[in-house]
């Protein structure tokens, strides 16, 4: 590209109609002149050849992605991060670039959005093998074309009649291998102990040894019994993760039998299929997070997990389960907070989604999650912390509710445990972890 060619891929924000552009923040390592590399980067994700041979047309003003900010963070690096070794023709620079990408290029379609902002153009720009999409910002005009969550945080709270506190989930364990009868008894005990939501594990599918229909029937019955006995609404969260062509039918069969929220493994099923299910659903939709960490774990490569949090809200999830706090989940506190914020912060007219940071939680970790998030608008989702509790799931769920009572009353956990045997047992069982 000539210097004049490059300039066609730069702009200032005030030259552009804000509603026409998605803003994208990237980290980028490139060889040679950063400004030329960024022009190529914009070209590759939009109109790389901007005129026909023999024509003097210029498609860039209308269809070109354009850099609106470029900050060179580091010059003359010894090479690329992560030992990547493409042909290097000049010193390597590390940059942060903000790109305005015209959404008219693809429209309000999730697969086409992904292809444009984190597809071939992003990861195969010449001389720039190390890139991370750090964040994505949608204009109101674009967001208005997506329905987003159908129920949102308030809708979920209303269904549970649960206000001013976290929502208490429990992943029924053993997650794999039990028949529906034994499985539903565990859920029932969890609800009696104080769970709001008893859920299928993300790996539990509609198998012959635990068919979804039978599971939903038994857990629906158990749920209604638990509601009658406790006098509070409960949710059975059934995993309908399956082939796309089965989603609507599984929704209908599960909901008809008593499931009153549905779990979908968002990325394995595909965000677009979730958007389809969202149009149809009668109950809240809950995302689980497989297939995101391989994109997001590297500091300087891939796609930041907050991009997926935003896209899951865009697709219509009412609840987003995500990797939580603590070294066990390989996710920094800042990243967990960024993901929670992506669920809750203003986003056009879309309802907020409930963030649920999870991973090896139990009664001892609740205070940490609450403190780090600084809000009660979150879900707490132990697995073994409830279902591996020495007193069984009823005691396990009770230990979680007791931990919350201690927090809400400002009483030290150990003091509260002196008068609450389930909490005491949780501390003894999980305290060394």
- Residue 263 φ/ψ, nearest 5 degrees: -100, 135
CB of 199 to a copy of itself, least distance (A): 14
357 in Cβ contact with 336 (< 8 Å): yes
User: Which residue, 337 or 391, is less far from a copy of itself as judged by CB?
Assistant: 391
CB of 395 to a copy of itself, least distance (A): 9
CB of 7 to a copy of itself, least distance (A): 18
User: Which residue, 352 or 396, is less far from a copy of itself as judged by CB?
Assistant: 396
CB of 25 to a copy of itself, least distance (A): 16
User: Which residue, 201 or 405, is less far from a copy of itself as judged by CB?
Assistant: 201
CB of 309 to a copy of itself, least distance (A): 16
Question: In whole angstroms, what is the distance from residue 373 CA to residue 379 CA?
Answer: 11
Question: In whole angstroms, what is the distance from residue 90 CA to residue 225 CA?
Answer: 70
User: Which residue, 104 or 412, is less far from a copy of itself as judged by CB?
Assistant: 104
User: Which residue, 352 or 359, is less far from a copy of itself as judged by CB?
Assistant: 359
Residues 6+ apart with CB under 8 A from 66: 9, 10, 11, 16, 42, 60, 99, 100
386 in Cβ contact with 400 (< 8 Å): yes
Question: In whole angstroms, what is the distance from residue 171 CA to residue 168 CA?
Answer: 10
- Written as one string, the DSSP assignment of 167-201 is EEEEE-SS-SS--HHHHHHHHHHHHHHT-SEEE--
Question: In whole angstroms, what is the distance from residue 59 CA to residue 43 CA?
Answer: 11
CB of 340 to a copy of itself, least distance (A): 18
Residue 99 has a CB neighbour count (10 Å cut-off) of 27
User: Which residue, 154 or 391, is less far from a copy of itself as judged by CB?
Assistant: 391
């Amino acid at each position: 590209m000539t210097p004049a060619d490059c300039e066609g891929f730069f702009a200032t924000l005030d030259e552009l109609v804000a509603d026409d552009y998605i803003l994208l923040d990237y980290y980028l390592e490139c060889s040679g002149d950063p400004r030329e590399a960024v022009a190529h980067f914009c070209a590759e994700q939009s109109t790389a050849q901007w005129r026909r041979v023999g024509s003097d047309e210029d498609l860039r003003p209308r269809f070109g992605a354009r850099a609106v900010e470029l900050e060179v963070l580091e010059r003359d690096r010894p090479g690329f991060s992560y030992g990547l070794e493409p042909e290097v023709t000049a010193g390597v620079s590390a940059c942060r670039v903000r790109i305005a990408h015209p959404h008219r290029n693809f429209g309000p379609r999730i697969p086409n959005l992904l292809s444009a902002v984190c597809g071939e153009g992003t990861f195969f720009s010449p001389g720039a093998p190390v890139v991370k999409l750090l964040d994505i910002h949608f204009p109101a005009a674009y967001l208005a074309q997506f329905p987003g969550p159908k129920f949102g945080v308030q809708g979920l709270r209303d269904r549970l009649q649960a206000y001013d506190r976290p929502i208490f989930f429990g992943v029924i364990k053993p997650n794999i291998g039990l028949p529906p009868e034994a499985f539903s008894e565990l859920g029932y005990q969890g609800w009696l102990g104080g769970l709001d939501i008893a859920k299928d594990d993300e790996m539990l599918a509609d198998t012959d040894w635990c068919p979804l229909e039978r599971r939903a029937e038994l857990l629906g019955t158990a749920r209604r019994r638990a509601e009658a006995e406790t006098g509070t609404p409960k949710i059975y969260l059934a995993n309908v993760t399956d082939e796309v062509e089965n989603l609507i039918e599984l929704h209908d069969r599960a909901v008809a039998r008593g499931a009153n929220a549905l779990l979908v493994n968002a990325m394995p099923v595909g965000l677009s299929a979730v958007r389809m299910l969202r149009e149809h659903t009668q109950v809240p939709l809950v995302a689980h997070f497989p297939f995101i960490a391989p994109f997001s774990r590297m500091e300087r490569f891939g796609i930041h997990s907050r991009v997926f949090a935003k896209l899951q809200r865009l697709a219509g999830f009412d609840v987003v389960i995500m990797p939580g706090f603590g070294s066990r989940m390989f996710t920094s506190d800042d990243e967990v907070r960024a993901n929670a914020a992506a669920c809750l912060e203003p986003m056009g007219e879309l309802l907020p989604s409930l963030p649920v940071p999870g991973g090896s939680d139990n009664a001892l970790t609740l205070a940490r999650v609450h403190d780090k998030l600084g809000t009660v608008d979150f879900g707490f989702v132990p697995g073994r912390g409830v279902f591996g509790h020495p007193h069984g799931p009823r005691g396990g769920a009770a230990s979680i509710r007791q931990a919350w009572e201690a927090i809400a009353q400002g009483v030290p956990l150990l003091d509260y445990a002196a008068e609450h045997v389930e909490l005491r047992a949780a501390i003894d069982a999980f305290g060394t972890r």
